[in-house]
Amino acid sequence: MPVGTQATVKAMTPAELQELDFSILLGNTYHLQARPGIDLIAGLGGLHRFMGWDRALLTDSGGYQVMSLAKLRRITDAGVEFQSHIDGARHFLGPREAMDIQRRLGADIAMALDECTPYPCDREYACQAMNRTLNWADVCVRQPRAAGQLVFGIVQGSVYADLRARCAAELVRMDFDGYAIGGVSVGESSALIFKGVADSVEQLPADQPRYLMGVGLFGQMVEAVAHGVDMFRLRAADAAGAAWHGGSPGRAGTRSKRRSARDDPRPIEADCGCYAAGISAGRTCGTCCTPTKYSACAC
């Protein structure tokens, strides 16, 4: 799922994303509530119409911002009071509010509100956050939904296997439409990321979607699929960041395009049929057509 946090995937149009055959995009409840605002989006016909996207949409609940904006929030068992990072205004996000926002947005998949824990995290806090996540999930799963809307529960428990197993088992008993693995890729090593995945997946039904949150690099996706994961948040920002700093991601990792490498006439990726590799290989002029693998430009 390419990330369209504020109702757009940066620097790309919906048509370009459809040409790349993406079937689902991701938005964010917290950020859309802060700007441009739910009333505006709902008044214009919902999130699909607002962003010009007629395929599926998933909206994160704001649970990650509970961690990432820790200096701007106060958390209680009822929910989270945020101080806006935009204008300082205060607004409350609890399980009922998170689900109501996602219902009004019309997301095809809504995420239950959770408390994402940082790394490192001591066991006592991890247990408190997991229990809070379960209590919120129990409220979320019983809230009104948009027509056809699915709701996913989120497994928390930090690096503690027994907490993750308990959280996953409790969520399955609540009978969600799918399940996400949260609280990973928050600063821990790759080995701990996939330990958290394994500790969670064991308890989740194989015939329902499993969404690994915060993970979406190529190698990570391959390993996660081997663990039984189905869905990912595509971390396009990593590719964009590499480009900004003079590199391009490929099968063998990020290749530098700085200094002498920028004069290298070889394609960005050998034997690749994509638009950028086609230009660098001279298979297209870059203006009249999109190249196909090994074909010449129509000009």
Cα angle value 26/134/39 (rounded, 5°): 40
Return the bridge partners of 212, or none. 181, 232
Band of residue 299 on the pLDDT scale cut at 50, 70, 90: very low
What was the pLDDT predicted at 173? 98
92: part of which helix (H) or strand (E)? Answer: strand 90-93
Q: What is the mean pLDDT of residues 271-288?
A: 65
Against a cut of 0.85, is the pTM above it? yes
177: alpha, beta or left? (left if phi > 0; alpha if psi -120 to 50): alpha
Q: How much of the chain, in percent, has pLDDT values that exceed 90?
A: 72
pLDDT one-digit tens code per residue, 236-255: 555 665 666 677 767 777 77
pLDDT digits (tens, 9 = 90+) for 205-235: 999 999 999 887 888 899 999 999 999 987 6
CB 117 within 8 A of CB 67: yes
Q: How deeply is 189 buried, as exposed, middle or buried, from its count of CB atoms within 10 A (0-12, 13-18, 19+)?
A: exposed
Residue-level pLDDT at 292: 46
Length, in residues, of the chain: 299
CATH of 14-233, one of 3.20.20.105, 3.30.420.10, 3.40.50.300, 3.30.2010.10: 3.20.20.105
State the average pLDDT over residues 141-163. Answer: 98
Say what the pLDDT of residue 64 is. 94
Q: 240-249: long-range contacts (C-beta < 8 A, 24 or more apart)?
A: 240/10, 240/11, 248/276, 249/218
Handedness of CA 181, 128, 188, 62 (dihedral sign): positive
Say if residues 129 and 115 touch (Cβ distance below 8 Å): yes
Tokens of 83: 């101080």
Query: Quick one: pLDDT at residue 294?
Result: 39
94: left (phi over 0), alpha (psi -120 to 50) or beta: beta
Q: Is residue 12 scored above 50 in pLDDT?
A: yes
Residues of the chain with CATH 3.20.20.105: 14-233
The residues with which 153 forms a beta bridge, in sequence order, are 179
Lowest mean pLDDT among 91-95, 188-192, 249-253, 295-299: 295-299
- Between 149 and 234, the more confident residue is 149
